[in-house]
Structure 1
Amino acid sequence: MDLIRHSAREQLDALNRGEVSSRELTTAHLDRITSHPEYNAVVTLGAEAALAAAAAADEQRARGRTTALLGLPITLKDALETEGLRTTCGSAELSEHVPGRDADAVARMRAAGAVILGKTNTPPLCQGIQTSNELFGTTPNPHDPHRTTGGSSGGSAAAVAAGLSPLDIGSDLAGSLRLPGHYCGVYSLRPTFGIVPNRGHIPRPPGWLTTSDMLCIGPLGRSAADLALALGVLAGPAPHDSTAWRLELPPPRHERLADYRIGFWADDSFCPVDAATRALLEELERTLRNTGVRISDSAPPVDMASSDRLFRSLMLAGSAASAPPQAYAAEVEASRKLSPGDESPGAQYLRDRTMSHRDWLQANEERRRLQDRWAAYFGDVDVLITPAAPTAAVPDQTDVPVSERYITVDGRRRGYWEQTTWLNLAGLVHLPAATVPLGRTREGLPLGVQLIGPHLGDRTVVKVAGLLGELRDTQTVVPA
């Protein structure tokens, strides 16, 4: 069925018009997944349960009852606990883990009528920016099998890009939605931190009620309308807050692209981008100016180097929460033995992992001050456009030790983890951010941008993502 290559919004509209049944649509997706094992994106399939849910959705629609996503097939990142369906988070230790309860976000998708096809691949415990593990192997980039999908929601992005699923729910701490979205050429949204409950996400270990203070659960889709569709279901107070709290996200700041004031942060000496990415940002800015968009000349709200250092410090401190006691004790002991002048990466890692609560409070205060600076910036600017990464999808390095991996930017060797530096800007300060595919490189790889919006400005970010998509479809944004 050609319909399975359409957006989630279009597939849902076809269901609502009665042009296709959920069972037909679900069967078509299951057939595509099983007939294309080369994508290795959906690693646990729940075919029987999916078909039963699809049949139930058809019966409900026949009785004149409907819900927001009734009968729409979707996939879920294998980090989200899913009742009755194996959830491993790419870890051999969890190879037989079958949760007895849905993650809160999964429960919301089910309640809205979504049909869960299966689980998508992720690096072990989401700890990687390319997607491979010993349980399921590597998920290659659908546009070039020698390139990475990114991570950790790499299976999610690949499934959407390859036509295996119209919509996937993944997660993002250090760009884990946005890097795969960029590399695979699909839309992604990291919501404002806290508006989507994250209980039931691994890591932390199964059964934990808390997770990282920078982790967000969000969607990947084939259009901005897909992001809006999922956001409308996912966003809301956690169950234990819903007695008294309500969430009413403000509408987009404007409806027309010409009414927006848009900032550009096209490059930075701390994390320079390649020629193709620079050309994309420059051409996009010219195109927007020519369509009447007001381009802000305000300077970037923060210094990238110091922002990134703070992000990594807080990320590592948070990652220590569920470390095995013996391993963490060894890190504490090693940290105590560091000389005061040792500023090596290894020493910084140990200090961050074992920082005192007082040091964390001071770091968090610094983060709060940066949030105020971002808020002031968005007083005059509606959305900031930045690169999503220094380059398009980089070669897969599964067989290379992590310590020896690197990327190449315009022929120059650069640090492997610099792939997420631009994405870390929003994650640190809890802002909504999206990736938007706008074109391709000369090698045929997807190339896009990141949009960062004001706190709780998720609908503004999604609106601009959609308007940029429309602009892409009507004008040449990327030079030939």
Structure 2
Amino acid sequence: MTSHLTVTEAAAGIRGGGITSHELTERLLARIEEVDPALNAVVDLWPEESLRAAAEADAALLRGDETGPLHGVPMTVKEGFNVAGRVTTWGNPVFAGFVPDRDATVVERLRAAGAIIVGKTNVPAMLADFGQTANDLYGRTRNPWDTARTPGGSTGGGAAALAAGLGYLEYGSDLVGSIRIPAGFCGVYGLRPTAGTVPTRGFQPPGPSAPPSEAGHLSVLGPLARSAADLRTALRVTAGPEGEAAGAYRWELPPPRHARLADFRVGVVLDHPGAPVTHEVGAVLSDAVDALGVAGVKLREGWPDGIDPDREAETFGFHVGLFFAHHQPGADVAPIGDVVAQEHARMAARAAWTRYFEEIDVFLCPVNFTTAFPHDDRPFAERVIPTAEGGRRYDDQVFWTTHAALPGLPAVAAPAGLSQDGLPVGMQVVGPRFEDDTAITFAGLAADVLGGFTPPPAR
């Protein structure tokens, strides 16, 4: 069925003449109309413009024009990206009238690679929720595996759309897990690239931009897809410097360390007292690691030397506070001595991971301690995630996404299997800094053992 093709398969079908871009886009728009009312994942859709672009893509092929790797393939982007002539609200009714006159850099580059942007996907208000996706402007997004449950946040609309076959690629953002948690909850792939790899121009709340600064190192932009290979394609067409820096050097994705699964040296931590995983998540991850071991993967259990995961989680929380202080003028700022000490702690963590990856190729850990949980409208401080082992704090979810984000490492959220109650369980594949393709390649090879993306039932 065409609705769940990968980007690679869809693009190959168009280039090979098996289907036209117009046919594929028409089918996708019909599927969105049929399936999305139950999910509310795609909140701004442009059918006429998309079909015109698809017809132009087909005409370009007939003319023999040079085409990009995403030529003619319809996709969506997270609502926070500026798309010229379309509203950007960040899920905030206050910004309902804001219409940018220029595409975000990521949107420009996706279009230059041939992609057809058919619409935008839902986000929580101001992208300020890592576990759920709902706002007063567009409403709530539901998980296609179980509509009573969350798809995660803040790229929840994009992950739900991909899982349900409402697009062939999605582009999102990740500060504390906003790509990886939704990917894990919805059973798709999501990449948090090495920090600073993908330009962020055109991805900010409406209004004056924050002054230029390196303080944005925790927040990155990255793709979600139905295969690991699609993450690689999307990263290649969107990463690299822009403006004056673009003329100074050429960005290239370094090759993966290995091409065979059995050649990988893999670190593993599947549980920790700081955020113990539920029995159902632990069982799936344990089975997945066992299967990888049988396939010849060389496994080493334990955290890297020099990494105290509880301390790093505290340091990460401090740096998230600095991030918001930078982007919200007037916010409280920590004393300079604390800032210096916590920056030293961040760089010490980066150095420890660098040493670790001299002997290990990728590191596996959970995406979250739980599977997708029921919707919860209470304030953050009052939310409790129900599990068989008892209620859990809402912000416990951030623990497992911390350890790639703090040192700026690439991390792929990949499907590891389904829980006993039929919900996706995600596994993080953390790679060496700047070696995103090592993590992507491992995730792709692991799919041959673990099964990869599976469409939700009846979707």
> Aligned equivalents of 1:442 and 1:299: distance in 2?
28
Task: Indicate the residue corresponding to 2:31 in structure 1.
Answer: 32
Aligned residues: 446
**3-state DSSP class of the match of 2:364?**
strand
Given the superposition, is the C-alpha separation of residues 354 and 204 from structure 1 closer, same or farther in structure 2, using an over 3 Å criterion? Answer: farther
Match of 1:317 among 322, 326, 330: 322
Matched, 1:306 2:286: no
Match of 1:454 among 429, 432, 435: 432
Asked if the contact 2:268/2:365 (under 8 Å) is kept, the reply is yes
> Aligned equivalents of 1:141 and 1:206: distance in 2?
34
Which stretch of structure 1 is more off in the superposition, 170-179 or 238-247? Answer: 238-247
Asked if the contact 1:141/1:184 (under 8 Å) is kept, the reply is yes
Asked if the contact 1:392/1:447 (under 8 Å) is kept, the reply is yes
Task: Indicate the residue corresponding to 2:290 in structure 1.
Answer: 286
Asked if the contact 1:172/1:216 (under 8 Å) is kept, the reply is yes
Matched, 1:441 2:419: yes
> Aligned equivalents of 2:110 and 2:83: distance in 1?
11
Show the 5 A alignment for 1:408-423. Answer: 408-423=386-401
Deviations 1:355-393 (A, max 9, x none): 145532332222111100000011110000001100111
Asked if the contact 1:390/1:409 (under 8 Å) is kept, the reply is no
> Aligned equivalents of 1:205 and 1:320: distance in 2?
17
Given the superposition, is the C-alpha separation of residues 89 and 246 from structure 1 closer, same or farther in structure 2, using an over 3 Å criterion? Answer: same
Asked if the contact 1:204/1:322 (under 8 Å) is kept, the reply is no
Matched, 1:162 2:164: yes
Return the offset for 1:208: 4.6
**3-state DSSP class of the match of 1:145?**
coil
Task: Indicate the residue corresponding to 2:457 in structure 1.
Answer: none
**3-state DSSP class of the match of 2:386?**
strand
Return the offset for 1:162: 0.8
Return the offset for 1:236: 1.1
Return the offset for 1:54: 1.1
Return the offset for 1:438: 2.1
Show the 5 A alignment for 1:27-66. Answer: 27-36=26-35, 37-65=37-65, 66=67
Return the offset for 1:239: 2.7
Show the 5 A alignment for 1:394-409. Answer: 394-397=373-376, 399-409=377-387
In structure 2, what residue type is equivalent to 1:27?
Answer: E
Which stretch of structure 1 is more off in the superposition, 362-371 or 144-153? Answer: 362-371
In structure 2, what residue type is equivalent to 1:291?
Answer: A
Asked if the contact 2:278/2:389 (under 8 Å) is kept, the reply is no
Sequence identity of aligned pairs in percent? 41
Given the superposition, is the C-alpha separation of residues 362 and 204 from structure 1 closer, same or farther in structure 2, using an over 3 Å criterion? Answer: farther
Task: Indicate the residue corresponding to 2:455 in structure 1.
Answer: none
In structure 1, what residue type is equivalent to 2:15?
Answer: N
Which stretch of structure 1 is more off in the superposition, 65-74 or 406-415? Answer: 406-415
Asked if the contact 2:196/2:220 (under 8 Å) is kept, the reply is yes
Deviations 1:285-324 (A, max 9, x none): 2222222211124543411111111111111121123336
> Aligned equivalents of 1:371 and 1:364: distance in 2?
11
**3-state DSSP class of the match of 2:368?**
coil
Deviations 1:305-359 (A, max 9, x none): 111111111111211233364xx4xxxxxxxxxxxxxxxxxxxxxxxx4214553
In structure 1, runs of 5+ residues without a counterpart are: 329-352, 475-480
Asked if the contact 2:38/2:147 (under 8 Å) is kept, the reply is no
CA RMSD of aligned residues (A): 1.6
Asked if the contact 1:87/1:119 (under 8 Å) is kept, the reply is no
> Aligned equivalents of 1:62 and 1:99: distance in 2?
33
* TM-score of the superposed pair, with normalisation by structure 1: 0.90
Asked if the contact 2:89/2:206 (under 8 Å) is kept, the reply is no
Asked if the contact 1:189/1:218 (under 8 Å) is kept, the reply is yes
> Aligned equivalents of 1:12 and 1:5: distance in 2?
13
Which stretch of structure 1 is more off in the superposition, 62-71 or 157-166? Answer: 62-71
Matched, 1:259 2:270: no
Asked if the contact 1:196/1:238 (under 8 Å) is kept, the reply is no
Deviations 1:100-134 (A, max 9, x none): 11111111101111100100000111101210000
* TM-score of the superposed pair, with normalisation by structure 2: 0.94
Asked if the contact 2:288/2:417 (under 8 Å) is kept, the reply is no
Asked if the contact 2:11/2:69 (under 8 Å) is kept, the reply is no
> Aligned equivalents of 1:356 and 1:4: distance in 2?
53
> Aligned equivalents of 2:445 and 2:451: distance in 1?
10
Task: Indicate the residue corresponding to 1:369 in structure 2.
Answer: 348
Return the offset for 1:245: 1.8
**3-state DSSP class of the match of 1:146?**
coil
> Aligned equivalents of 1:184 and 1:73: distance in 2?
20
Task: Indicate the residue corresponding to 1:180 in structure 2.
Answer: 182
Deviations 1:417-450 (A, max 9, x none): 1112101111111000011112111211111211
**3-state DSSP class of the match of 1:308?**
helix
In structure 2, what residue type is equivalent to 1:163?
Answer: G
Matched, 1:100 2:81: no
Which stretch of structure 1 is more off in the superposition, 135-144 or 96-105? Answer: 96-105
Given the superposition, is the C-alpha separation of residues 114 and 196 from structure 1 closer, same or farther in structure 2, using an over 3 Å criterion? Answer: same
**3-state DSSP class of the match of 1:189?**
strand
| Structure 1 residue ranges (4+ consecutive) displaced by more than 6 angstroms after TM superposition | none
Return the offset for 1:206: 5.5
Deviations 1:156-203 (A, max 9, x none): 101101111111000101000000000001010000011110111124
Asked if the contact 1:73/1:114 (under 8 Å) is kept, the reply is yes
Asked if the contact 1:149/1:158 (under 8 Å) is kept, the reply is yes
In structure 2, runs of 5+ residues without a counterpart are: 453-459
Return the offset for 1:204: 7.5
> Aligned equivalents of 1:198 and 1:48: distance in 2?
28
